[in-house]
Amino acid sequence: MAHAAPLSAPRAEQGLGVYTQKLGMWVFLASEVMFFTALIGSYIILRWGSAESWPVPHEILAIPITALNTFILICSSVSMVKAYAAATQDDQKGLRRWLLLTVIGGATFVGVQAFEYHHLISEGLLPSGIREGSALAARLVDTGKVSATAAGLFGSAFFTMTGFHGFHVTCGVICMTFVTIKAFRGGYRGGRYHGIETIGLYWHFVDLVWIILFTIVYLI
């Protein structure tokens, strides 16, 4: 035990065999999973435990446009991974094209979400509950379909979950813009794809969270 022989050709310890930037991003994403777990888990718990009649999500939220928005985000994930593939093959033109599409896709998603928020708020859905005298109140609360407290809780959870997701997408769009500018300046030439892959992971993660959110909040 005392004199352990050295490795015959000492090399740095491999760790997981994944380069540091990527490993760091994965570790960070693991913590982000826990963050969204707190929010989404709370929604599940509040809804399951609600003693009162919970609103049917698609009677308040617009499924068609959100489904389209989901698709847009998925497309931006595809363009992201295509950008990564281009970077690994040193295809600079492809890289720039796909990165640009990703930024546009992400920005569109945020735009549509903002538009939806505006629409919902004017309809009467607020973080604090259903606004009295609003169209939603007339349709759901006053008719007795849904209790005001349950609808209020739905509003609280909806805006918190989708709001933080939207915040994450926005941060992603901002970072992606910087990455795109760097790509246009040739910063990823010569097969230097690490930065693209790393931000790509973040981007896919944000898409993944939305896949879960869309199902749990809008559809179920």
Partner 1 sequence: MEGTRKHPNYVAVWGALFALTVLEVAAVYVGLPRHLLVLSLLLLAAWKALLVALYFMHLRFEPRRLALVAMTPLPLGVILVVAVLQEYAKR
Partner 2 sequence: MTAAAMPQGAGLHAGHDDRPWIRRYVFSTDHKTIGIQFLFLSLFFLLAGGLLAMVIRWQLGFPGTPVPGGSILPDAMAPGGVIRPSFYNALVTMHGTFMIFFAVMPLLTGVFANYLIPLKIGAPDMAFPRLNMWSFWLMIPAGTLALAGFFVEGGTAAAGWTAYAPLSNSPLYTGVSAGQVLWCLAIVIFGASSLLGSVNYVTTVINLRAPGMTWMRLPLSVWALFITAILALLAVPILAGAIIMLLFDQVLGTHFYLPTGGGQPLLWQHLFWFFGHPEVYILILPAMGLVSDVIANGSRKPVFGYPTMVAAIGGIAFLGFIVWGHHMFVSGMNPRLGTTFMASTMLIAVPTSIKVFNWLGTMWRGNIHFHVPMLNAIGFLSMFVIGGLSGIFMAATPVDMYIHDSYFIVAHIHYVLFGGSLFAAFAGIYYWFPKMFGRRMDERLGRIHFALTFVFYNLTFFPMHLLGLGGHMRRIYDPTQYPFLAPLQPINRFISVSAFLLLTSQLPFAFNFFRSLFRGERAEINPWRDNSLEWTLPSPPPHGNFAATPTVYRGPYEYSVPGEVEDFLPQDRPARAAAEAH
- The residues that touch partner 2, with contacts defined as CB under 8 A, are 1-7, 10-13, 15-16, 18-21, 23-24, 27-28, 30-32, 34-39, 42, 45-46, 49-50, 52, 126-129, 147, 149-150, 152-153, 155-157, 159-160, 164, 175, 178-179, 182, 195, 198-199
Name the nearest CA neighbour of 110 among 153, 156, 174, 48: 174
**From the list partner 1, partner 2, none, partner contacted by residue 5 (C-beta under 5 to 8 A by kind):** partner 2
Residue at 198: amino acid letter = T
The size of the interface with partner 1 (CB under 8 A), counted in residues, is 46
Phi-psi category of residue 197: left, alpha or beta, with phi > 0 → left and psi -120 to 50 → alpha: alpha
**From the list partner 2, partner 1, none, partner contacted by residue 149 (C-beta under 5 to 8 A by kind):** partner 2
Residue 58 interacting with partner 1 (CB under 8 A): yes
Burial class (CB in 10 A: 0-12, 13-18, 19+), 13: exposed
DSSP category for residue 7: P
Residue 164 interacting with partner 1 (CB under 8 A): no
Q: Distance between CA atoms of 190 and 201, rounded to whole angstroms?
A: 21
Residue 85 interacting with partner 1 (CB under 8 A): yes
Q: Distance between CA atoms of 88 and 137, rounded to whole angstroms?
A: 54
Residue 65 interacting with partner 1 (CB under 8 A): no
> Sign of dihedral through CA atoms 158, 159, 162, 165?
negative
- Residues at the interface with partner 1 (CB under 8 A): 16-19, 23, 26-27, 29-31, 33-34, 37, 41, 44-45, 48-49, 58, 63, 67, 70-71, 74-75, 77-78, 80-82, 85, 88, 193, 200-201, 204-205, 207-208, 211-212, 214-216, 219-220
